Amino acid sequence: MNNKIWLSSPHMGGAEEKYVKEAFDTNWIAPLGPNVDGFEKDLEGYLGSDVHVAALSSGTAALHLALIILDVKADDEVICQSMTFAASANPIAYQGATPVFVDSEDRTWNMSPEYLEKAIVDRISKGKQPKAIIVVHLYGMPAEMDQIMAVADRYEIPVVEDAAEALGSTYKGRKLGTFGAMSILSFNGNKIITTSGGGALVSKNEEWIKKARFLATQARDNAPHYQHSHIGYNYRMSNICAGIGRGQMEVLQERVEARRSNYNFYKNELDASIFKFADEPTAEYFSNRWLTTVIVEHPERVIDREVIRLALEKENIETRPLWKPMHLQPVFEGAPFYGDGTSEQLFEKGLCLPSGSNLTFEEKNKVISNIHKVFAASIA
271/372 Cα distance (integer angstroms): 9
Which of 43, 371 has the CB closer to ligand PLP?
Answer: 43
Which of 244, 371 has the CB closer to ligand PLP?
Answer: 244
Task: Please report whether residue 58 would count as binding ligand PLP according to CB under 6 A.
Answer: yes
Minimum CB–partner distance for residue 88 and ligand PLP (Å) = 5
Give, to the nearest 10 degrees, the angle between helix 305-314 and helix 361-379: 120
Q: List binders of ligand PLP among 107-166 (CB under 6 A).
A: 136, 162, 164-165
Site track 63-92 with ligand PLP (rule: CB under 6 A), x = hit: ---------------------xx-xx----
Question: For ligand PLP, which residue of 10, 36, 38, 60 counts as binding (CB under 6 A)?
Answer: 60
Which positions are annotated as active-site residues? 191
Asked if 198 and 181 touch (Cβ cutoff 8 Å), the reply is no
The number of residues making up the chain comes to: 380
Sign of CA dihedral 140, 7, 249, 40: positive
Asked if 139 and 167 touch (Cβ cutoff 8 Å), the reply is no
Which of 178, 188 has the CB closer to ligand PLP?
Answer: 188
In this chain, which residue has its C-beta nearest to ligand PLP? 59
Task: Please report whether residue 104 would count as binding ligand PLP according to CB under 6 A.
Answer: no
Question: For ligand PLP, which residue of 59, 113, 142, 177 counts as binding (CB under 6 A)?
Answer: 59
Residue 166 burial (CB < 10 Å; 0-12/13-18/19+)? buried
- The amino acid at residue 229 is S
279/264 Cα distance (integer angstroms): 10
End-to-end CA distance of the chain: give it in Å, rounded: 32
Which of 59, 245 has the CB closer to ligand PLP?
Answer: 59
Q: Which of 174, 216, 219 is nearest to 55 (CA)?
A: 216
Task: Please report whether residue 31 would count as binding ligand PLP according to CB under 6 A.
Answer: no
Q: List binders of ligand PLP among 175-204 (CB under 6 A).
A: 186, 188, 199
Which of 323, 337 has the CB closer to ligand PLP?
Answer: 323
φ, ψ for residue 133, nearest 5 deg: -125, 120
Binding site for ligand PLP (CB under 6 A): 58-60, 84-85, 87-88, 136, 162, 164-165, 186, 188, 199
